[in-house]
Structure 1
C-alpha cells in the first residue's frame, strides 16, 4: 500500500496483532474530526491572541513551538505508530499553533483570504472523497507512483529553496506572483489534493486488512498532515492571485 504522504509508508498497516479491536472506517472518521477540532481550537487561540495584542512578535514563539514541536511529534508518530492515540492529538494542537499564526499573517495582508482558503480546502476534500467513493477517481498503482514522484519532486524543490535561502537566494516562483509562480502553485495544489485520494485508499486498505484499533489515530493523523499541506498551499496560491 503506497501513499504520497511522507508519513504514511508502504508498511504502515502491515503489523496486525490478533485478538484486539480492529480499525474501522467510522472510527477513523471520528478520530479525524477530533484532530481537526483540536487543530481549530489552538489555531483560534493564537489567532485571537494576535488580534488582541496587534503585535506579530507576541505570537512568533508560539508559531515556532508549533512548527518544531509538530515536526518532532510527526516523526515520532511515524516510527511509533502505537503511540498515535497520544501523539496525534498533541500534534494537532501544536499544528494549530503554527496555522493560527500563519493564517493571521496572511489575513492581515490579504483580508478574507483565510475563509477562502478554508472553504477551498474542505471543498476539495469533499469533492475528492465523493469522486473516490463513486469510483470516478481510482488509486491505481500507476496513479500512486505518479503522485508519489510528484510529491517527492516538490519536497526536493522546497528543500533546495530552503538551502538557497541560507545564502540569501531563493526560487522566486515559489513565493512570488506572476504567471510562472501561479502555475507552480496550481500544480502543487493539485498534487496535494490528489494525495487525499491516496490517503483515502490507504485507510480503506487498512480497514480491509483488519489493522489494530490504534491505526485509526494513525490514519487520521496522516490525513491531517495532507489537509494542512493543502490548506497552506491554497493560501500561497490565493496570495499570488491577489498580487
Structure 2
C-alpha cells in the first residue's frame, strides 16, 4: 500500500495531465525499471573494466586516445541526461542508453583508479550498496519527508554542484585546487558531508517515487524516476570512491 504523501502537491498534480493517462506508474514498476538500469550499468561497467585489462601497456599509456574516448562518452552521457530531464516522455529510450554509457565511463574511470590504488573499487561498490539499502530502510521507516527538509537537501545539492563547477574552472584555467578537494583532513570531512547529502538525495528520490505513484503519474515516469535513482547512486559511488582515495593518500 502506498503511503499518503505530502498534501501540498495534490492540488497541482490533480490539475496536470497525469490523471488523464490510461496507465499510471507504480512503485514496484519503478523499482523494476531501476533494477534494469542498474543491471545495464553493471554489465557495461564490467565490459569496459575487462577491456582495459586486455589492452597492452602501450595502449593504456596512450592518454590522448583514452582522453578522446572519455570526452565522447561524457558528451553522450550529458546529452542523454539533459534530454531525459527536460523530456521525461523519452526516458524509456534515453534512460537505458544512459545507463550503458555511464557504465562504460565508470568502468574505465574505476579501473584506472584501481591501478593507482589497488583494491579501492570493491569497498566503494559495497559501501554504495550498503548505503542504498540503508536509505531504503530509513525511508520505509519514516515515510513521506517534510517538504522543508527536501528543500534544504536540494539547496545543499545545488550548492555542491556550483562548488564543483567553480573548482573545475579554477583547476582548468589556473591550476588551482581548492583544499576541500585535496586529501587532508578538510578534504576528508568535506567528502563525508557530500556522501551524507548524496544519501539524503536517494531518500528524496524514493519519496518522489512514492508521491508520483500515489497521484497516478503516467507510466513513462517509472523510467524517469528510475533514471533519477541511477544518477544519485552513481554520484554516491563516485563520492565514496573519492573518499577512500583520500584516506589511502593519508
TM-score of the aligned structures, taking structure 1 as reference length: 0.90
8 Å CA contact 1:117–1:238 kept in 2: the answer is: yes
Q: CA RMSD in A?
A: 2.1
CA distance in 2 between counterparts of 1:110 and 1:232 reads 15
User: By how many angstroms is 1:59 displaced?
Assistant: 4.2
The residue number in structure 2 matching 1:122 is 129
Q: For residues 167-212 of structure 1, what are the alpha-carbon distances to aligned partners after superposition, in whole Å with 9 as ceiling and x for unaligned?
A: 2233333432111110111111111111011000001000001011
Is the aligned partner of 1:108 residue 2:115?
yes
CA distance in 2 between counterparts of 1:20 and 1:174 reads 49
The residue number in structure 2 matching 1:77 is 84
8 Å CA contact 1:103–1:114 kept in 2: the answer is: yes
Equivalent of residue 42 in structure 1, options 21, 41, 44: 44
Is the aligned partner of 1:228 residue 2:248?
no
CA distance in 2 between counterparts of 1:200 and 1:93 reads 22
CA distance in 2 between counterparts of 1:216 and 1:200 reads 12
Equivalent of residue 28 in structure 2, options 22, 26, 33: 26
Equivalent of residue 178 in structure 1, options 181, 184, 192: 184
8 Å CA contact 1:62–1:97 kept in 2: the answer is: no
SS of the residue corresponding to residue 16 of structure 1 reads helix
CA distance in 2 between counterparts of 1:56 and 1:42 reads 22
The structure number with the bigger radius of gyration is: 2
Number of aligned positions between the proteins:
234
Q: For residues 14-64 of structure 1, what are the alpha-carbon distances to aligned partners after superposition, in whole Å with 9 as ceiling and x for unaligned?
A: 541524211011100110011001111111111111111141546444332
CA distance in 1 between counterparts of 2:74 and 2:82 reads 12
CA distance in 2 between counterparts of 1:138 and 1:19 reads 24
Bigger fraction of residues in helix: 2
CA distance in 2 between counterparts of 1:15 and 1:52 reads 51
CA distance in 1 between counterparts of 2:21 and 2:178 reads 54
Equivalent of residue 244 in structure 2, options 233, 238, 243: 238
Segments of 5+ residues of structure 1 without an aligned counterpart are: 3-9
CA distance in 2 between counterparts of 1:61 and 1:43 reads 18
Q: Give the 5 Å matches for 1:149-168.
A: 149-168=155-174
CA distance in 2 between counterparts of 1:45 and 1:75 reads 25
Q: For residues 59-89 of structure 1, what are the alpha-carbon distances to aligned partners after superposition, in whole Å with 9 as ceiling and x for unaligned?
A: 4443323211111101001111110000000
Is the aligned partner of 1:211 residue 2:211?
no
CA distance in 2 between counterparts of 1:214 and 1:119 reads 30
8 Å CA contact 2:19–2:216 kept in 1: the answer is: no
Q: For residues 204-236 of structure 1, what are the alpha-carbon distances to aligned partners after superposition, in whole Å with 9 as ceiling and x for unaligned?
A: 000001011110000000000100000000000
CA distance in 2 between counterparts of 1:167 and 1:66 reads 23
The worse-fitting range, judged by mean Cα deviation, of 137-146 and 30-39 is 137-146
SS of the residue corresponding to residue 166 of structure 1 reads helix
SS of the residue corresponding to residue 132 of structure 2 reads helix
TM-score of the aligned structures, taking structure 2 as reference length: 0.88
Segments of 5+ residues of structure 2 without an aligned counterpart are: 7-11
